[in-house]
Each structure stands twice: as C-alpha cells, then as structure tokens.
Amino acid sequence: MRNWLRSGVLVLLCWAQGALAGTVLVVGDSISAAFGLETSQGWVHMLQQRLDTEAADYRVVNASISGDTSAGGLARLPTLLAEHEPEVVILELGGNDGLRGQPPAHLKQNLAAMVEQSREAGAEVLLLGMRLPPNLGQRYTTAFAQVFDSLAEEKELPYVPFFLDGVGGVEGMMQSDRIHPTAGAQQRLLDNVWPVLEPLL
C-alpha cells in the first residue's frame, strides 16, 4: 500500500511539473522565420535551445511567416492565442509594412490591437522594434520608428527598440538582399532579445 501511494505521489508530481510548462509565442515575419536559412539556424530555434539548456520549462512556438504584415499578424492572432495559450507573446512585425510604405498610423493600430488581445488572453507581450533604411526618406522612417517607441511607452511594454541592432547594415551580418540577417547574425538577434525576455519567464 505504501509503495502504491509513493508511486501515486510521484505520478502527480511529474504531472504537476508538466503542467507548469509555459509557451512563448513568436509572431513575426521573415526575420523570425529564418528566411534564406535552415529553420534550425534561426534565432527562434536558438531561443528554444537556450531555454532547454537553462532548464526553463518553456516551449517556443514560432508562428512567423515570411512577408507577413501587422494586418496579417492581427488576423492570425486570435487563433494562435486560442490554440497555444501562451504566457509570453513576442511581436516582431512591421518591417513589411514599412517597406510597402503603409501608413504608420495603421501599423500602430494593428500592433496595439495585438497587444490588447494578447493581454486579454493572459499573456505578457514583448515588442521588438524595427527601423527602416534611410533611402525611404527621413520623414517616413522617423514616423515609422516612433510607432514602436510610442506604443511601448503608452502600453508600458517590455521593449527592444531596434531588434536588428548590431546586425542591420553591418558587414557580414546581412544576406545579399541586405534585408535578411545571415546565419552568423542569429546569435546577436537572440542576445538582443534575451535580456528583456528573461525577466518575463
């Protein structure tokens, strides 16, 4: 009888530990989808490896799609939240909005809606900011950058102001298209995210 009880307690403990597993949901575009690379080379995959190494009981779901915009992410988000019930949502969107010249006000509206939906689902939100190349014009690039800065301040979000810091425009860090990071840049991307993400886990 004692052995049976002991076995039962062990089963319950194992079940409880499994129930503590959390989910980090990454909703992004080609940068997080590891465009031009093997998925295993991307920073999101490396994030899962770091969590596994540090015995953090989290799984990472990469819901990033190359070419996606903030409008596309907003349309997909309700299903993703219902399916994965994440504890943390990482938003890495906006670059394609900017490259297509879409109004910054629309970008901010879409991202703000994603923040609110994620919070209503019980998730913390980490915002990854983007910047545009100067050839798109100072007025537009400034307005674009201010979307992320102002949203992070208004919503009091954990925030990485420039996700591609140390990567964008750096020799050897970008693929030949000068838009997507190389395999060698992925560790730097993770290092940009980790100090802000870690306190949320």
**71 or 6: whose pLDDT is higher?**
71
Q: Where are the domains of the chain?
A: 23-200
pLDDT of 40 > 80? The answer is yes
pLDDT of 19 > 80? The answer is no
Catalytic residue (one of 66, 84, 180, 191): 180
pLDDT at 14: 43
pLDDT at 93: 98
pLDDT bracket for residue 1 (50, 70, 90): low
pLDDT of 28 > 90? The answer is yes
pLDDT bracket for residue 56 (50, 70, 90): confident
Question: Residue 120 CB: number of other CB atoms within 10 A?
Answer: 9
Mean pLDDT over the full length of the chain: 92
Catalytic residue (one of 30, 32, 64, 70): 30
23-200: CATH superfamily? SGNH hydrolase (3.40.50.1110)
Cα–Cα dist 187/162, whole Å? 15
Q: Output the DSSP codes for the chain.
A: -HHHHHHHHHHHHHHHHHHT-EEEEEEE-TTTTTTTS-GGGSHHHHHHHHHHHTT--EEEEE---TT--HHHHHHHHHHHHHHH--SEEEEE--HHHHHTT--HHHHHHHHHHHHHHHHHTT-EEEEE-----GGG-HHHHHHHHHHHHHHHHHHT--EES-TTTTTTT-TTTB-TTSSSB-GGGHHHHHHHHHHHHGGG-
Q: What is the mean pLDDT of residues 63-76?
A: 98
pLDDT of 114 > 60? The answer is yes
Q: How far apart are the first and last CA of the chain?
A: 40
30 assigned to active site = yes
Q: Quick one: what percent of the chain has pLDDT higher than 70?
A: 90
pLDDT bracket for residue 169 (50, 70, 90): confident
Instruction: Find the helix packing angle between 104-120 and 138-155, rounded to 10°.
Output: 20
